[in-house]
């Protein structure tokens, strides 16, 4: 999911805000917003803002870990040795916003920051042992939470949901990166993400 800085209500400390770039709505084929578009936005807001957040982030809340901090932990876990500027670019926020988040993660002893030998102005990030254990725990809790939700759906509905979400993600990528290099579709990937 892409993050942006904005003055919207509910913005997290550090300037991270969930949503489409620039707070745009999704236009229909004629360019106007439809009630279907608003319904989709309402559903996504409910899922990401309350329902899934309660299921997925209980442990993070116990640790007083914000959503932004959790997302930076996941990013650093997937990109060890990344620079703080890489994190800022990935989330579409300022370096100052990332610095605030990383400062808190360092205080909690989940992340280390080291000088980059190739650039004196940059810092590289890595997870500590505690940070790695926390990310593994959060991933397990996420998976278990989503599995509990999916268990209440039929196999057909789960398949349709996954296909619909894949189509939505592909369309969103085309909007965000209209002239960028083509990204491989996950539709044809092995069973990854396909829960029956």
Q: Tell me the pLDDT tens digit for each residue of 101-158.
A: 999 999 999 999 988 788 888 889 999 999 999 999 888 888 888 888 889 999 999 9
The domain in which residue 118 lies consists of 55-174
> φ and ψ at 48, to 5 degrees?
-80, -30
Whether 15 maps to a domain, the answer reads no
Whether 181 maps to a domain, the answer reads no
The pLDDT of 4-31, averaged and rounded, is 41
Q: Please tell me the predicted confidence (pLDDT) of residue 122.
A: 83
Whether 59 maps to a domain, the answer reads yes
Whether 135 maps to a domain, the answer reads yes
Whether 22 maps to a domain, the answer reads no
Spatial CB neighbours of 22, under 8 Å, sequence gap ≥ 6: 4, 6
Whether 120 maps to a domain, the answer reads yes
* pTM for this entry: 0.62
Whether 39 maps to a domain, the answer reads no
Q: Please tell me the predicted confidence (pLDDT) of residue 184.
A: 47
Q: Is residue 57 over pLDDT 80?
A: no
Whether 97 maps to a domain, the answer reads yes
Residue 18, strand partner residues: 3
Number of independent structural domains in the chain? 1
* CATH code at position 162: 1.10.10.10
Q: Tell me the pLDDT tens digit for each residue of 64-117.
A: 888 889 889 999 999 999 999 999 999 889 999 999 999 999 999 999 998 878
């Amino acid at each position: 999911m892409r993050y942006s800085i904005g003055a919207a209500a509910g913005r997290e400390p550090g300037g991270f805000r969930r949503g489409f770039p620039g707070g745009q709505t999704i236009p229909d084929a004629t360019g106007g917003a439809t009630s279907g578009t608003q319904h989709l936005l309402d559903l996504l807001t409910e899922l990401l803002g309350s329902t899934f957040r309660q299921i997925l982030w209980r442990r993070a809340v116990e640790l007083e870990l914000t959503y932004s901090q959790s997302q930076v932990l996941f990013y650093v876990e997937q990109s060890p040795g990344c620079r703080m500027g890489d994190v800022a670019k990935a989330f579409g926020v300022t370096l100052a916003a990332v610095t605030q988040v990383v400062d808190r993660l360092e205080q909690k002893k989940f992340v280390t920051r080291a000088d980059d030998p190739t650039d004196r102005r940059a810092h590289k990030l890595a997870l500590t042992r505690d940070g790695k254990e926390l990310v593994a725990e959060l991933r397990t809790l996420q998976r278990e939470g989503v599995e509990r939700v999916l268990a209440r759906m039929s196999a057909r509905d789960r398949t349709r949901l996954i296909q619909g979400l894949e189509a939505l993600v592909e369309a969103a990528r085309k909007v965000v990166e209209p002239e960028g290099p083509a990204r491989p579709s996950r539709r044809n990937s092995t069973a990854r993400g396909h829960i029956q």
